[in-house]
Structure 1
Amino acid sequence: MKRPTYTLSSIIKKVFRSGERSLPREEICSRLEASGLITGFGMDGSALLAKVLRMDQSPVRVGRSEAIIELTYQPHQLFDLAYRFVRDTHTPKTLEQIAAELRRQTQFGWNQIMRMLQLERDPRFVQYQGDARWFLAEWTLANDQVYAFCRANGITQVAARSVHHFLEQEAGVAVDAMFLPALDDRFRLDGETLYIIARDGDEEEKHAGLEAAAAVETAEEAEPEADPAEAGQTAAGTIDAGLSGASRPQSTDVQQGREEQRERSETHHHHEVHEQLHFEEELSMNTVQNQSVLEEVQQLLRQALGRLEARSAEMAQEVVAHFQQSNMQAIEVLMKEKHKNEQIALGIQQVLAATEQQ
């Protein structure tokens, strides 16, 4: 059985409530046992705590006595910025993704951020086994809720592109809940489809499904079939009626039929001519519209080039100012931005050249 499971250090962090900095060892073990988070690890709360205390980046340490366990987390602006970034995006992030965002928001270098940002110590962040991303401890897990809803409503698959809508509008998953099908063997993502897999304990539901299917088959077999003799008589009556009507043709009726056929032919011809003219008109309008869109795109690309060039001029002045202040770190940031802008400008120029050739 595979289910989303917290890492050992994350389990210990989940024990601490908001505002708590230290706890008695016995209280931690008691909360571990009561939480059910250690089920399946093959160890009790005391053994799990001892194992976490031996970790290099442990979130806890022994306090002023062996009976007291305290958090190792020390507040810093980087941790707060990382927390706000993950919270505002409401998406789990890898350490590299968080560091890249902090690199953009602050003047800290990459190596500084990676060295200082030890999220293993921050009780606001947790991880699941087999997933390198960082989640917020305040988020809940929706896997059980989604599975129960699918089984209760006979849902066996959901289109991957509509999973988000399905979770919010149909399954009623809370905004702060995470759905992690990749860590749960009750779900399987195959291409563009998410499959819900029935596991042990669902035998009654399977039996009910088989009974329902059998009932449908019985109903289909019980549908009355048409009597071949009656069908033959009906068809024969129809054919006889047609022949009796055709056996008494009149000359006036023949002439009238020919005139009606000629009128229908002329009407059909006029309709084809009208459709051809309408098609040519639409083709002309589409051509004009495509040209208008292309010109608008070219204009936007030229505006983007102009803004990049203006930014390059601004950066040249900023480099001089930072050089006078001996702020080499800021100069390094500007040089990276300049290189990126040059690459973007080159790409835009290539796109413009391609559109002009067309």
Structure 2
Amino acid sequence: MPEPLRIPRFRAMWAATIVSQFGTFIQVVATSWAMVQLEGSATMVSLVQTAANLPTMLFAVSAGALADIFSRRSVMLGAQFAMLLLSALLAALAALGALTPMLLLALTFLIGCGTAVHWPAWQASVGELVPRAQISSAVAANIVGNNVARSLGPAIGGAIVLVAGATLAFLANALSYLAIITVLWRWRPEKSERRHSGYWAVLAEGFRYGVTHRHTRALLIRAAMFSLSAAAIWGLMPVVAVRLDGGPDLLGILFGCFGVGAMGGAVAAVTLRDRFGAEAVLRGGIAIFLLAIAALGLTKSIPVAVIAHLAAGAGWVSTLSTFNVTLQLGTPRELVGRTIALYQTTTFGGLAIGSLIWGMAADRVGVGPALTISAICLALGLIAGTRLPLPRQQPL
């Protein structure tokens, strides 16, 4: 058992988060396929990912400031309650047959707002739950847990949608929030020593650090370049399933394969970073991802698509986990919530904007060419990244 999971309070939050993420990935398939049925254009389908990721781009920095000012437990509880209510409303509308494309996008956006508020507080809390020496392992454990849910949740979601429709999938997600709410309700963190002059001052300090600290700025630029190009696989996955003559079951399998690959990538990245360093793992992850997405663009074979999603998942998570760990270890603890939020803003902003761009490109030139172009953009970003050094670890 990894050392962080021997700590009861971290283990409880970790397990509850996995349960909640199971619901999230069940809903990802349900919302994506619901949009395919409501409005079949690639642009509208890709807008589901835009709606899901745009809130993090817009609000993550503000949420990071809240995480550095207020009780992170309270911030997370508020976000989880809001997402439970919104997911229940989505299920009710689907059950009544009142769901429209715009309502689906609006509720996806609002649930994304809850996610944007929750994640900076949760990631910044890792340093409160485990010793500093275990932060890298704790981040890896979170990523493995996330990808267990990412591997199985979509397959379950696809089966639910195929057999019982989207309503039950939306309801399953609503109920999944109860696990993390229960753990957070019982958690009594130590009193914080954080003292700040005010919200706007805290926000300005976080922006100032991210913009003026050269290596942090370089990491944020590289994360934005990667996510903007990599968004093609997220925004176009439902139309890829349609291109392969599949239904919600195939979509669930593709999401699940991505998660299986990501889980393997998360485990391997920890060892590889220790042995070869963060920079080598980062470049390798991006290279694997771009080769996978290029293969996906050049084939209409389901077996090749399955292998490509496995490889893409490994490349995706090894890249993002390396960005995350490097940022956490290279940032002063009093600034980590806001710095992580800046990272999430750039990453999810790239996903939100990129999903729309690649959806529009797919409608104009076709799904395969759009994926191939995104692979070329990833290659150009990989080359540009050689001029942007990563942050160095802060002294203990």
Greater C-alpha Rg: 1
The answer to whether TM tops 0.5 is no
Q: Which has the higher helix share?
A: 2
Report TM bin, short chain: under 0.3
Higher fraction of strand: 1
